[in-house]
């Protein structure tokens, strides 16, 4: 038999456990929603121009494969491509852009 105090401690333990389980479930569901939303975005926008929605085509520019919109000519660079194109020449415009948008100098 539990004392009154023992029952209270059990209640507190189970309430905390339920709260932790509820929080873990909410985090898991939120993560699954994020993954589903990312997949939906990719299905809808993948391979499309972010400016006009046109189809992107790959072109080689200075040895790098870059995505160019067939409709408006906008260029989409993957992570790291701007830095590769900028190279080591610190006086180039691309190097300046890479420093601003690429997070390194």
Q: In this complex, which beta carbon is closest to Zn ion, that of residue 33 or of residue 51?
A: 51
φ, ψ of residue 65 in degrees (nearest 5): -85, 120
Q: How far is the CB of 67 from Zn ion (least distance, A)?
A: 10
By CB under 5 A, residue 66 contacts Zn ion: no
Structure tokens, 3: 């004392």
Q: How far apart are CA 62 and CA 84, in angstroms?
A: 9
CA 79 to chain centre: 11
Q: Among 7-15, 40-48, 70-78, 89-97, which window interacts with Zn ion (CB under 5 A)?
A: 70-78
Which spans of this chain sit near Zn ion (rule: CB under 5 A)?
49, 51-52, 54, 69, 71-72, 74
């Amino acid at each position: 038999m539990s004392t009154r105090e023992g029952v209270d401690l059990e209640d507190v333990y189970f309430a905390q456990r339920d709260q932790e389980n509820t929080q873990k479930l909410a985090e898991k569901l939120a993560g699954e929603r994020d993954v589903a939303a990312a997949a939906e975005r990719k299905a809808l926008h993948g391979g499309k121009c972010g400016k006009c929605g046109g189809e992107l085509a790959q072109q080689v520019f200075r040895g790098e494969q870059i995505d160019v919109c067939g409709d408006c000519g906008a260029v989409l660079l993957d992570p790291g491509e701007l830095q590769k194109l900028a190279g080591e020449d610190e006086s180039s415009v691309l190097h300046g852009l890479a420093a601003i948008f690429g997070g390194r100098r």
